[in-house]
Structure 1
């Protein structure tokens, strides 16, 4: 049976809900910021997680699932429950995207909250409390930053501002590489994509093994600002699958995206 798609009004209501929750979680995380929060290591010592991550996650889970008990739940800081796979609509959450930056006392981290319906985001919020920045989008209307409409950079001059790892530059197609100015590392992946949405940079290449929670909210914000986040196959992402990891991805304004994808094919396998 085909899932019944709720009206756009439902996603606008959900946007209001996730905005309130993201702000509350962000303010809670901010109360730990630059105060030496306790830090643990997960994923065999590869990823840090702080007490602020868990505190923000608790707030999000309580506020969101209390309001929408029929929605599924996927969060970086909650043990995965396969029950989410039976839900048409799911909250996809990263309580602090950019935990390493948070621990280091750097401002570029954010709370990322998306509503995903049948595999695609339909409402998304990024809240960067240390920067006092709020990004929002639903399936209708413009993406917004602090209440004002945002758009990808209109027109592209001879030099493209692309955020990518230093070791990836040499793997780009040569002709494309010569037109690129590399942007230094942005510690939050979600925020990096938001920087494309508001026109500060032109694109990014995302290394393999990013997760649904890093991407879902930013994906929608970028889409509504005139850009897209695609795999090297030129297809949009599908969320809330059994495997929440992704392969190499490219994000840019729509007119610039095909060339970025074509130039990035050499990264596959690295």
Structure 2
């Protein structure tokens, strides 16, 4: 008997149920005493991150044993590069905010197929907001079509790191500096809701930070790109990305992209070529 390929919608339903369960687990540690330590890059990790990561690995890979696995809290296994589909997971995106008791942290999970996200979920359990998307079928918030609500008459609301903020101001961009939600995935999807007009990220974000949000933004009709190389590609050997921008209004692009490039720069041309090559093309 020939196996019927799993549809993207099937994968999304798996992601949704797993994200909700993961949110319940993480919420049990929220605003309580929790064991925490710093990773080699000085970013914090908690026992909640690890427990949620283990739960998601168990539940997702049991359902899809032929999929690869890439998670912030799991040692990388290069075998993922040989998989057609890969789970890309951040068990708690915004751990610093989680530790401070802020409620906008999220569980971010995507399925990436041949470098492109095809199903994705960003779930903020404390806010009871579940964003999801399937490639080609639009984006949703809590099961309903995700619709951007415009902020008529107000200057653009854009959170940005200090150096980028200074560059955009110096270039004459008239805007209000918005709230910098600690979860990058959550911050990005707020451009699709209309709570933000743009969101940016410094160079160095990794696949698990942005894969699910990238699909949700794309399906919601929001421009999202690496300012040096275009729409991000995923499940490469190097999972880091350049500076990123999500924009609701393309008139913002010249000044926002220029500020990000001035502050963070772009990889050399040969680095870009290597980063855009497929795993089989890498040296």
> CA separation in 2, counterparts of 1:94 and 1:176?
36
2:125 matches 1:129: yes
Q: Classify 1:240/1:64 alpha carbon distance in 2 versus 1 (closer, same or farther; 3 Å).
A: same
1:82-231 mapped onto 2 (5 Å cutoff): 82-154=78-150, 157=153, 159-172=155-168, 174-177=170-173, 179-231=174-226
How many Å apart are 1:41 and its aligned residue? 1.0
Which of 21, 25, 31 is matched with 1:28 structurally? 25
Determine helix, strand or coil for the equivalent of 1:73.
strand
How many Å apart are 1:157 and its aligned residue? 4.6
Is residue 243–residue 261 contact of structure 2 (8 Å, CA) maintained in 1?
Answer: no
> CA separation in 1, counterparts of 2:262 and 2:148?
26
Query: Per-residue displacement from partner, 1:48-84 (whole Å, max 9, x unpaired)?
Result: 1101001111111111100101100000000000000
Which of 67, 71, 78 is matched with 2:63 structurally? 67
> CA separation in 2, counterparts of 1:60 and 1:256?
40
Query: Per-residue displacement from partner, 1:155-209 (whole Å, max 9, x unpaired)?
Result: 87562111111232112274442x1211132111000001111111111121011
RMSD across aligned positions (CA): 2.1
Output the TM-score relative to the length of structure 2: 0.87
Out of 247-256 and 134-143, give the one that drifted further: 247-256
Which of 75, 81, 102 is matched with 1:79 structurally? 75
Structure 2: state its 5+ residue gaps.
267-283
2:241 matches 1:246: yes
Which of 40, 43, 50 is matched with 1:54 structurally? 50
Output the TM-score relative to the length of structure 1: 0.91
Determine helix, strand or coil for the equivalent of 1:53.
helix
Query: Per-residue displacement from partner, 1:243-265 (whole Å, max 9, x unpaired)?
Result: 11111111112634633324543
Q: Classify 1:31/1:237 alpha carbon distance in 2 versus 1 (closer, same or farther; 3 Å).
A: same
Query: Per-residue displacement from partner, 1:112-169 (whole Å, max 9, x unpaired)?
Result: 0000001110000011111111001011222111112113455875621111112321
The corresponding residue for 2:274 is none
Is residue 153–residue 253 contact of structure 1 (8 Å, CA) maintained in 2?
Answer: no
The corresponding residue for 1:3 is none
